[in-house]
Amino acid sequence: MFSGTPSSRSSLLLALLFSPMLLADDLFLDSEALPRILTATRLKQSPAEIPGSMTVLDSELINASGARDISELLRLVPGMMVGNISGNQSVVNYHGTNASEARRMQVLIDGRSVYRAGLATVDWSDIPVAMEDIERIEVFRGPNTVSYGANALMAVVNIITRNPADSHGTRLKITRGQRGINDFYASQGTGWSGGDLRLSLSGQEDDGFDSDRTGADYRDSRRLNRFSLAVSQMLSDNQSVDWQLNAKDGTNQRPYTYRPVFSGITAAGNNSDVVAKDYAGSVRWNLDINPDHSLYVQGSAQHWDRQQTWRACDAEVSFSPQLTQLWQLNPNYTEQLARNITRFIGPGAAPGTPTEMALANQVLDQWRNGASRTLCGDIDQSARESRYDLELQDTLSLSDSLRLVSGLNYRYDRADSETYFNGTLDDTTWRAFGQLEWRAGEHWLLQGGAMFENTQLIGSSLTPRFAVNYLINPRHSLRAVYSEAIRSPDMFENNVNWSYQVTNLRPSAYGQTSARYFVKTRGPGDLDQEHMRSRELGYNGFFPEWGLALDVKLFYDEITGMISEPLRNNQFIASNANDSRFRGTETQLDWRLSAIDRLRLTYAFVDAEASNPLDQQFTARNSGSAGWLRDWGQGWNSALFYYGDNALNGYRFERVDTRIAKNIPLGKAQLQLAAVLQQRLDHEPTTFVDNNYDERRVMYFSAELEF
Amino acid sequence: MRYALSRKMPTARQWLAGLCLFVTAWLYGVAVQAADILLTGAEESPGVQSFVQALSELRPTDRVHFQPLASLPAPGKLPSSLRLILLDLPSLDWRMQDSQGPATLVLRISRLQARQRFGTTQPSHLSLLWSDPPLSRQLQLIRRILPQAQRVGVLFDQHSEFLLKELQSAANPLNLHIVPQRWDNTHDNRPLQTVLKNSDVLLGLDDPDLYNPRTAKNLLLSSYARQLALVGPNVSFVRAGSLASTYSDQSDWLTVLDELLDHPPTAWPRSLYPGRFKVSSNAQVARSLGIEPMNEASVAAELAEGERHP
């Protein structure tokens, strides 16, 4: 029986080759036809084989964190900078760059990219996915346009929702707490022969931050409701279809931030709240051609609707045709005139070209003749963006040691905004990608690929990626990665055509109730892609005897041709003139000390240098997290987390979160009661000066019934 | 002392005793050699044919032959000197009509099937040779290939529940903790999710209600999604995506049968797990789970050695 012990590899190979025959002939081996299910195309790489750095936030961690927002969860990812523009606007960027915009990360929900079509930002709070529906989050730390497509410049956040088949039964959850926290979640899952479904409804409410820099109440609360339906259906032994529908509707408060350009204006609006609606639908068809060859086709449609209409007040002269004309000739000159108009009343227009001076004097005349009076009108800064995406991905296992993933992607983006684009703007992107994975022997794994992308507005580009993993054994590896990535400027940066048509003017401006505000900004229209070159050395290891998983990396990333001008409507002139570089090290450690204890640590040291100081703001030189999860038995669980950034946009951030939960069986049902306490350890605002809480501590409680 | 004794000349009485022993042994040997071995089953498939052929080659002095079940009289009408080997469940049902009849070895029957047919009492006139891998062997395999695993998840239903006690007692000396989970409705994934959440490895029982082509995909994809290995229940599952399993194939069974047939039917055990077995593993699954590729033959040898010298 044991005679002849060929090497395990060849015997395995033989077994794989001949096992169907053996099964058919051998009376004692189960003759029941069972297809190969975990095939070469379905199996993923082990952590040691991944051609880069990956952080996986599993459901245990997500649950234990007590987080109410996806962005908050990302604090558990080393090198991830998480902050807030306001209570309902999170800002997340890997390694940093600008604190008020995060445009360089790819964010996917079940393979559907959710950064906005026109503005390329991610509205974290508006993503139509409830935390309770998330199974895990995989964060690829580093550029990877080859695998994840455009915008995957600095990192990729891949949110994977719970399989409908794993969501059977009913879940009801409510959360109540301080700071107006009031959330709910309800889901129903059911299955039938070959199919499963999950329907969930959820809602979220809170007051955001308490006070701005002046101590006044900060208008940044949010209220939202979500709907989500996910269905998976087997069509045959080798085909299945998954489809989803998601919708989100809600209100995000925004403070009134308009500052009158002209002096002497005291009237003001009281808010610039946004009604934010997100809709998404996707269908994915999976086909296993054979155990070594599979493909999927995924189509998705998304729509972002941001309705933002607010009342603003300024002097009548803001609508002067002459001032508008002057702005188009010389924005600097015009801004000087507008901001200091009272100083020019006596002496007349400042020196300039004769045309400029003539126009300026006409404006001054208007001012003297009563155009200094206050006018209020409605500003509509709404935007509607849509995306249609079709992707084909093919996975082919050419041999036991060679695997090819390739595909094609077509995307159509459209943005519609009177204010930003003076109408509608659209863009079409084609993408082809391929990645080859080659096991060159027992210890070497080589992976390389490239992506070709062509966008109608920007042009085409080719980005390569190479990684070498040296597997000391299947659980420990060293890796070296070189990758290039690009980010095409978004429609806003390149093609903005920003002006305000103000309506319902009272009193009327120059006899009109609707008039165009004098400031108009146009994008350059000829921007190039940003380029990223990233180099990484890393180690990944798992010590099963201790239950310890460790990943360490050193990185050096450079972005050139960087578009770093802030998105503001006074003289926003985007260019590719900037660059920045990030270097440092990151570590993550996940240690299951025993069956009941889990310890998790992350740390990142990031040294950022940027030609534009704004791009250095959002980098904490030292940041990290520490977590301890324990199962105390008798249904009691606890989790303790520490999060720290030494300075994010100049402000320190340190917080300790505690969650204590008790599971109570109620017959066939299960009740979970949980309390979360978050305690800030520092006394600083969060990311921006207006983000202040009255108390450094917040508590909220949840009750969840599952049956 | 012994040496001195053996040097003594044997007495006539001793000679006689020796002769009797020799004759008895010779007669027995002749009887065994000349055994008439009848295999039966509902149909004579190519698999059956090749097995009968292999067994007859292994026992050239015996008359090994197959007769389809339909052509056989009631078991009690068969000569009692016959050695009867049953190859399937219909033939077992036929044999159970009659408590009389030739000595019978029952092949290709699992613990679960026997339980469903006989309840807790085993018929005394049959030797049941179990087709499912012994639980203790599967646990030893887990210990060997996943040394860090402590919590062994086990799905069961009303038919397989009786195995839990045995499983627990086999797990105790190995410091393994069995996490049992009832799964009555395989359309409801919650019990599966629960057991996966609370286990380090899933051990598959040979219970076709739970492990069958309809459930395989869900079982394997769900456990893999949690990066958990399934061990067992059989070699088909290993090919589909289970990490590993012990199993006995035709050549193992031939060796086991050959040994049994060398003994008089009175010495046959009431039930038996084959002592000869192999290990099958799925290298791609192992690699993806970050587990060292295993040498199946040496793992099997280690397990066999462990069984011989516990």
The answer to whether residues B64 and B180 belong to one domain is: no
Kindly calculate the radius of gyration of chain B based on its CA atoms and give it in whole angstroms: 23
Give the list of residues 6+ apart from residue A433 with CB closer than 8 angstroms, or none. Answer: A145, A146, A147, A149, A406, A407, A409, A449, A450, A451, A452
**Domain residue limits at A243:** 47-308+381-489+527-706
With respect to residue A105, please indicate whether it lies within any of the assigned structural domains: yes
Does A544 have pLDDT greater than 70? yes
With respect to residue B255, please indicate whether it lies within any of the assigned structural domains: yes
* Optimal mutation site among B110, B235, B281, interface A, most CBs of chain A within 10 A: B235
Mean pLDDT of all residues in chain A? 91
Q: Which one is predicted more confidently, A4 or A143?
A: A143
Q: Kindly determine whether residue B189 and residue A191, on different chains, have CB atoms separated by under 8 Å.
A: yes
Strand order in the sheet with A155-161: A53-57, A134-141, A155-161, A105-109, A112-113
What's this model's pTM, rounded to 2 decimal places?
A: 0.87
Highest mean pLDDT among A12-16, A489-493, B207-211, B288-292: B207-211
State residue A194's pLDDT score: 85
With respect to residue A244, please indicate whether it lies within any of the assigned structural domains: yes
**pLDDT tens, A212-262?**
999 999 999 999 999 999 999 999 988 999 999 999 999 999 998 888 989
pLDDT, average across residues A37-51: 88
Shortest distance between the Cα of B90 and any Cα of chain A, in A, equals 16
Percent of chain B residues topping a pLDDT of 70:
89
Distances (CA, A) of A107 to A112, A113, A153, A226: 8, 6, 11, 19
- Cite the DSSP H helix spans in chain B: 2-6, 12-33, 46-58, 89-96, 111-118, 135-145, 163-171, 190-197, 213-225, 235-240, 250-261, 283-288, 296-308
Q: Kindly determine whether residue B47 and residue A2, on different chains, have CB atoms separated by under 8 Å.
A: no
**Helices and strands (H, E) in chain B, number of each type:** 13, 12
Does B21 have pLDDT greater than 60? no
Pairing state between β A182-192 and A195-206: antiparallel
Cis peptide before B173 (omega within 30 of 0): no
**Alpha-carbon distance B291 to B294, whole Å?**
8
The answer to whether residues B113 and B168 belong to one domain is: no
C-alpha torsion B157→B163→B169→B173, nearest 10: -80
Pairing state between β B244-247 and A195-206: unpaired
Structure tokens belonging to residue A528: 């190039």
* pLDDT-derived band at A31, boundaries 50, 70, 90: low
With respect to residue B5, please indicate whether it lies within any of the assigned structural domains: no
Structure tokens belonging to residue A29: 């081996």
Shortest distance between the Cα of A62 and any Cα of chain B, in A, equals 14
A22 touches chain B (CB under 8 A): yes
The answer to whether residues B88 and B146 belong to one domain is: no
- Using CB atoms, pick whichever of A29, A33, A47 lies closest to residue B249: A29
The answer to whether residues B116 and B199 belong to one domain is: no
Shortest distance between the Cα of B11 and any Cα of chain A, in A, equals 46
* pLDDT-derived band at B283, boundaries 50, 70, 90: very high
Q: Which residues pair with A402 in a beta bridge?
A: A399, A438
Distances (CA, A) of B25 to B12, B16, B261, B264, B266: 20, 14, 15, 12, 15
- Using CB atoms, pick whichever of B222, B240, B286 lies closest to residue A34: B240
Q: Compute how many other C-beta atoms are within 10 angstroms of the C-beta atom of residue A507.
A: 12
A11 touches chain B (CB under 8 A): yes
The answer to whether residues B39 and B154 belong to one domain is: no
With respect to residue A16, please indicate whether it lies within any of the assigned structural domains: no
Q: Which one is predicted more confidently, A347 or A658?
A: A658
**Alpha-carbon distance A471 to A484, whole Å?**
24
Distances (CA, A) of B288 to A42, A44, A290, B86: 10, 6, 19, 41
Q: Kindly determine whether residue B289 and residue A27, on different chains, have CB atoms separated by under 8 Å.
A: no
Structure tokens belonging to residue A443: 């210890």
Q: Give me the residue label for tokens 């900060």.
A: A218
Let me know: does A63 contact A76? Beta carbons within 8 Å. no
The answer to whether residues B261 and B118 belong to one domain is: yes
With respect to residue B21, please indicate whether it lies within any of the assigned structural domains: no
Shortest distance between the Cα of A2 and any Cα of chain B, in A, equals 6
| Residue from A569, A641, A646 nearest A605 by CA | A646
Environment class of residue A281 by beta-carbon count within 10 Å: exposed (0-12), middle (13-18) or buried (19+)?
middle
Structure tokens belonging to residue A254: 């925004």
Provide the domain count of chain A. 1
Let me know: does B281 contact B235? Beta carbons within 8 Å. no
Q: What are phi and psi of A692, to 5 degrees?
A: -125, 145
Between A144-153, A567-576, A630-639, the lowest mean confidence (pLDDT) is in: A567-576
Q: Kindly determine whether residue A2 and residue B212, on different chains, have CB atoms separated by under 8 Å.
A: no
**Alpha-carbon distance B296 to A61, whole Å?**
36
Pairing state between β B126-130 and B103-109: parallel
State residue A10's pLDDT score: 40
Kindly calculate the radius of gyration of chain A based on its CA atoms and give it in whole angstroms: 28
In what helix (H) or strand (E) does residue A40 lie, and over which residues does it extend? none
A260 touches chain B (CB under 8 A): no
Which residues of A fall within a CB distance of 8 Å from B198?
none
Q: What are phi and psi of B134, to 5 degrees?
A: -60, 140
State residue A14's pLDDT score: 40
Q: Kindly determine whether residue A34 and residue B216, on different chains, have CB atoms separated by under 8 Å.
A: yes
Structure tokens belonging to residue A510: 């120059």
DSSP string, A589-616: EEE--SSSEEEEEEEEEEEEEESSGGGG
The answer to whether residues B51 and B195 belong to one domain is: no
With respect to residue A24, please indicate whether it lies within any of the assigned structural domains: no
* pLDDT-derived band at B293, boundaries 50, 70, 90: confident
Let me know: does B74 contact B52? Beta carbons within 8 Å. no
The answer to whether residues B109 and B162 belong to one domain is: no
pLDDT, average across residues A562-576: 73
With respect to residue B4, please indicate whether it lies within any of the assigned structural domains: no
Return residues 264-303 of A near B (CB < 8 Å): none
State residue A178's pLDDT score: 97
**Alpha-carbon distance A597 to A600, whole Å?**
10
The answer to whether residues B164 and B304 belong to one domain is: yes
With respect to residue B14, please indicate whether it lies within any of the assigned structural domains: no
With respect to residue A76, please indicate whether it lies within any of the assigned structural domains: yes
A43 touches chain B (CB under 8 A): yes
The answer to whether residues B156 and B281 belong to one domain is: yes
Q: Kindly determine whether residue A28 and residue B237, on different chains, have CB atoms separated by under 8 Å.
A: no
- Using CB atoms, pick whichever of A16, A20, A37 lies closest to residue B221: A37
How many CB pairs lie under 8 A apart between chains A and B? Answer: 160
Q: Which one is predicted more confidently, A505 or A16?
A: A505
pLDDT, average across residues B121-138: 91
Q: What is the CATH number of the domain that holds A445?
A: 2.40.170.20
Which residues of B fall within a CB distance of 8 Å from A37?
216-217, 220-221, 240-241
Structure tokens belonging to residue B130: 């179990």
Structure tokens belonging to residue A460: 């085409």
Which residues of A fall within a CB distance of 8 Å from B294?
8
Structure tokens belonging to residue B296: 């199946």
pLDDT, average across residues A568-575: 69
pLDDT, average across residues A614-630: 94
Provide the domain count of chain B. 2
With respect to residue A345, please indicate whether it lies within any of the assigned structural domains: no
| Residue from A475, A468, A466 nearest A439 by CA | A468
Q: What is the CATH number of the domain that holds B69?
A: 3.40.50.2300
With respect to residue A503, please indicate whether it lies within any of the assigned structural domains: no
| Residue from A152, A75, A159 nearest A120 by CA | A152
**pLDDT tens, A484-531?**
998 888 888 888 888 899 999 999 988 999 999 998 888 888 889 999
With respect to residue B286, please indicate whether it lies within any of the assigned structural domains: yes
Pairing state between β B126-130 and B83-86: unpaired
**pLDDT tens, A186-201?**
999 998 888 999 999 9
* pLDDT-derived band at A12, boundaries 50, 70, 90: very low
Q: Compute how many other C-beta atoms are within 10 angstroms of the C-beta atom of residue A558.
A: 16
**Alpha-carbon distance B226 to A41, whole Å?**
18
Strand order in the sheet with B103-109: B63-68, B36-41, B83-86, B103-109, B126-130, B271-272
DSSP string, A493-561: HHH-EEEEEEEEEES-BTTBSSEEEEEEEE--S-PPPEEEEEEEEEEEEEETTTTEEEEEEEEEEEEEE
Percent of chain A residues topping a pLDDT of 90:
73
Return residues 104-143 of A near B (CB < 8 Å): 135
> Which own/partner pairs from A355-363 qualify as long-range (CB within 8 Å, at least 24 positions apart)?
A355/A329, A356/A326, A356/A329, A356/A330, A359/A322, A359/A323, A359/A325, A359/A326, A359/A329, A360/A326, A360/A333, A362/A320, A362/A322, A363/A317, A363/A320, A363/A322, A363/A323, A363/A326, A363/A337
Q: Give me the residue label for tokens 């009389």.
A: B100
Q: Kindly determine whether residue A163 and residue B225, on different chains, have CB atoms separated by under 8 Å.
A: yes
Structure tokens belonging to residue A341: 């108009």
**Domain residue limits at B199:** 135-247+277-308
State residue A496's pLDDT score: 87
Task: Supply the DSSP symbol for A217.
Answer: B
- Using CB atoms, pick whichever of B187, B278, B283 lies closest to residue A12: B283
Shortest distance between the Cα of B22 and any Cα of chain A, in A, equals 33
State residue A17's pLDDT score: 40
With respect to residue B144, please indicate whether it lies within any of the assigned structural domains: yes
Give the list of residues 6+ apart from residue A441 with CB closer than 8 angstroms, or none. Answer: none
Return residues 532-551 of A near B (CB < 8 Å): 542, 544-545, 547
A28 touches chain B (CB under 8 A): yes
* pLDDT-derived band at A22, boundaries 50, 70, 90: very low
Q: How far from chain centre, in Å, is Cα A237?
A: 35
Which residues of A fall within a CB distance of 8 Å from B107?
28
State residue A81's pLDDT score: 95
Which residues of A fall within a CB distance of 8 Å from B50?
25, 27
Shortest distance between the Cα of A503 and any Cα of chain B, in A, equals 55
Which residues of A fall within a CB distance of 8 Å from B193?
166
**pLDDT tens, B137-180?**
999 999 999 998 999 999 999 999 999 999 999 999 999 999 99
Task: Supply the DSSP symbol for A45.
Answer: P
pLDDT, average across residues A468-481: 95
With respect to residue A374, please indicate whether it lies within any of the assigned structural domains: no
Q: Kindly determine whether residue B281 and residue A192, on different chains, have CB atoms separated by under 8 Å.
A: no
Structure tokens belonging to residue A387: 């995306």
Q: Kindly determine whether residue B289 and residue A46, on different chains, have CB atoms separated by under 8 Å.
A: yes
The answer to whether residues B292 and B152 belong to one domain is: yes
Distances (CA, A) of B94 to A401, B40, B272: 52, 10, 21
Let me know: does B236 contact B213? Beta carbons within 8 Å. no
* pLDDT-derived band at B19, boundaries 50, 70, 90: low
Whole-complex ipTM: 0.82
Shortest distance between the Cα of B93 and any Cα of chain A, in A, equals 19
State residue A468's pLDDT score: 96
Which residues of B fall within a CB distance of 8 Å from A135?
225
Structure tokens belonging to residue A49: 């084989």
Which residues of B fall within a CB distance of 8 Å from A19?
235, 239
With respect to residue B220, please indicate whether it lies within any of the assigned structural domains: yes
**pLDDT tens, A82-105?**
999 999 999 999 998 887 777 888
Number of residues in chain A = 707
The answer to whether residues B113 and B151 belong to one domain is: no
Assign residue B128 a region (left: φ > 0; alpha: ψ between -120 and 50; beta: otherwise). beta
